[in-house]
Amino acid sequence: MDTTILGQPVLAWQLLASLGLIFTVLEIFIPGFIMLPIGLALFLTAVMSLFVSGSIGQLGLLAVNLIIIFFVIKKVLKLKVINNHSKSNVDDMAGKRAEVTETIVENGSGYVKLYGDRWQASMSSGSAEVGDKVEIIKVDGNKVLVKKLN
């Protein structure tokens, strides 16, 4: 696949490498992580086009490279998300122990302190006095359901 740009002959691998560079640089300015994989596929095809002749063969090679790179990146990102999945913030509060800072009455509410923050708390049965240790069972909005520890 030879073509001309401004009257100068350009080989297929040069065109593919140039497009790969353009798409890779565009990734900086266009969010979404779509341009970089396309740029990588173009670079890979530029290298492989030295061994494949004909425009149809090179376009087919580009299509295969695009598919492979997108699947590999999807797999890598998916594994990264799964391996880095951890509870944070409010999700991590269930099971933690807190200290009662304002008496919690049965079927009423009071306050507990956890991580230096004050949380409105309620108990389904029993009550807890100031200084008692409680375990957070569940978080509901900005309130926590607790049970008294023995």
User: Does the pLDDT value for residue 141 go beyond 60?
Assistant: yes
Q: Where are the domains of the chain?
A: 3-83, 89-148
pLDDT of 7: 52
Domain 89-148: CATH class, spelled out: mainly beta
Model confidence, pTM? 0.48
Residue with tokens 């409010």, as numbered in its chain: 90
User: Does the pLDDT value for residue 10 go beyond 70?
Assistant: no
* pLDDT tens-digit series, residues 32-50: 788 889 999 999 998 888 8
| Residue 79 CB-density burial (10 A; 0-12 exposed, 13-18 middle, 19+ buried) | exposed
Q: What would the mean pLDDT of 108-122 be, rounded to a whole number?
A: 88
Torsion of CA 85, 91, 96, 99, to 10 degrees: 150
Q: Where residue 2 falls among pLDDT bands split at 50, 70, 90?
A: low
